């Protein structure tokens, strides 16, 4: 049974209105086990399931003669997508009441709370806000920048909804599973974040992980300071392509007497990055720098980390790499 709320009937009508009888389905890794259920829900359309990883609405595939249906992500408003791209937001059918009750029982001294989540739990935000307010808390849901569709929504590369309410709150509740998004919120706001997992009804914090993450990144910055040759990674993906930023980084590098080489790619495979460079600077998906750094044969940093390494910015200016716009 497919455990998400998706309006497949509306999707089929839209695909037929576009004149297609074939559809390519892009799925996050966790949804690939439901390929048969999704195929049945899209009948009688001819369904092709993509085997490529799908990292978000920044990462689309387009083929002649078929529509592309990406399930589980919302479109990024400031991206001009091809007409044949359709997004199906898959909302989780799960309640946060039990885990919220546990948070209240903890008696934490944080009374003004910011609420953030990923798209699958967006439909729960208002109910959570009302629940907290009924129990004497103040709850805030922030609006994001042009990359964010919903208030309270965060992406792995954009935390603007959290940052925009940072002055109003004492701490944040991240509604969902996993730690990466919560770590990003704590990094960009400096406020404590609690992860409320509705499936296990467990509450966790990410402060120790943030401290470990910062130590790792400072180590990478120190190593890059002596580099002479840099590979600048530029993505071809519609939602990750930051060419103007890459060109700025090239100028920064070469103005210090060092050398740079643009590396244009669709999918970044660290094990294949055996170029004659001392370090890589990543202008594509920020998570590549953070999640996959151990897989690269040479150190990899973000643009802001490079500028710190080259003494263009102070160490105190270290921050999480976020994508605001693409080109």
Pairing type for strands 202-205 and 192-197 reads: antiparallel
Q: Indicate the residue among 74, 90, 106 that finishes a domain.
A: 90
- The share of the chain scoring above pLDDT 90, in percent, equals 94
Helix, strand, coil % (nearest 5) of the chain? Answer: 35, 20, 45
State the sign of the Cα–Cα–Cα–Cα dihedral 54, 216, 179, 158. Answer: negative
Q: Taking the chain, what is the end-to-end CA distance rounded to the nearest angstrom?
A: 40
pLDDT (average), residues 47-65: 94
Q: Indicate the residue among 90, 122, 147 that finishes a domain.
A: 90
Contacts of 214 (CB under 8 A, 6+ apart): 187, 318
- Domain membership of residue 323 (yes or no) is no
User: What is the structure's pLDDT at 217?
Assistant: 96
Residues 30 and 118 in one domain: no
Query: C-alpha dihedral over 69, 70, 72, 74, to 10 degrees?
Result: -100
| Preceding peptide of 123 cis, ω within 30° | no
Residues 186 and 219 in one domain: no
What is the count of structural domains for the chain?
Answer: 3
- Per-residue tokens: 234: 């530029």
Residues 112 and 86 in one domain: no
Cα–Cα distance measured from residue 263 to residue 282, given in angstroms and rounded to the nearest whole number: 10
Q: What range does the domain containing 138 cover?
A: 97-205
Q: What is the DSSP secondary-structure string of 264-294?
A: EESS--GGG---S-SEEEE-S-HHHHHHSGG
Question: Lowest-confidence range among 25-29, 51-55, 94-98, 138-142?
Answer: 51-55
Residues 72 and 102 in one domain: no
Q: How many residues does the chain have?
A: 327
Q: What is the CATH number of the domain that holds 169?
A: 3.40.50.11850
pLDDT (tens digit per residue) in 86-143: 999 999 999 999 999 999 998 878 999 999 999 999 999 999 999 999 999 999 999 9
pLDDT (tens digit per residue) in 232-280: 999 999 999 999 999 999 999 999 999 999 999 998 999 999 999 999 9
């Amino acid at each position: 049974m497919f455990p998400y709320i998706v309006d497949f009937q509306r999707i089929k009508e839209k695909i037929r209105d576009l004149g297609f009888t074939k559809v390519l389905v892009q799925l996050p890794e966790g949804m690939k086990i439901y390929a048969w259920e999704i195929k049945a829900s899209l009948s009688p359309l001819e369904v092709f399931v993509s085997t490529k990883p799908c990292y978000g609405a920044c990462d689309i595939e387009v083929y002649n003669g078929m529509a592309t249906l990406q399930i589980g992500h919302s479109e990024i408003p400031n991206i001009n997508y091809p007409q044949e791209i359709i997004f199906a937001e898959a909302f989780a059918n799960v309640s946060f009441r039990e885990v919220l009750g546990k948070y209240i029982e903890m008696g934490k001294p944080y009374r003004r709370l910011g609420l953030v989540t990923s798209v699958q739990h967006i439909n729960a935000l208002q109910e959570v806000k009302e629940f907290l307010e009924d129990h004497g808390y103040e709850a805030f849901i922030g609006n994001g920048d042009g990359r964010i569709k919903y208030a309270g929504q965060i992406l792995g590369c954009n935390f603007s909804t959290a940052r925009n309410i940072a002055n109003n709150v004492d701490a944040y509740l991240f509604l969902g599973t996993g730690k990466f998004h919560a770590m990003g919120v704590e990094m960009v706001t400096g406020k404590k974040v609690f992860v409320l997992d509705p499936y296990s009804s467990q509450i966790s914090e990410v402060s120790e992980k943030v401290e470990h993450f910062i130590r790792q990144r400072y180590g990478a910055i120190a190593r890059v300071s002596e580099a002479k040759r840099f590979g600048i990674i530029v993505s071809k993906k519609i939602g990750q392509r930051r060419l103007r930023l890459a060109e700025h980084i090239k100028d920064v590098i070469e103005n210090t007497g060092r050398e740079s080489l643009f590396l244009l790619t669709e999918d970044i495979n660290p094990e294949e990055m055996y170029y004659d460079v001392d370090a890589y600077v990543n202008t594509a998906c920020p998570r590549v720098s953070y999640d996959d750094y151990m897989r690269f044969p040479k150190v990899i940093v973000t643009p802001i980390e490079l500028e710190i390494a080259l003494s263009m910015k102070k160490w105190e200016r270290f921050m999480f790499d976020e994508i605001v716009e693409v080109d």
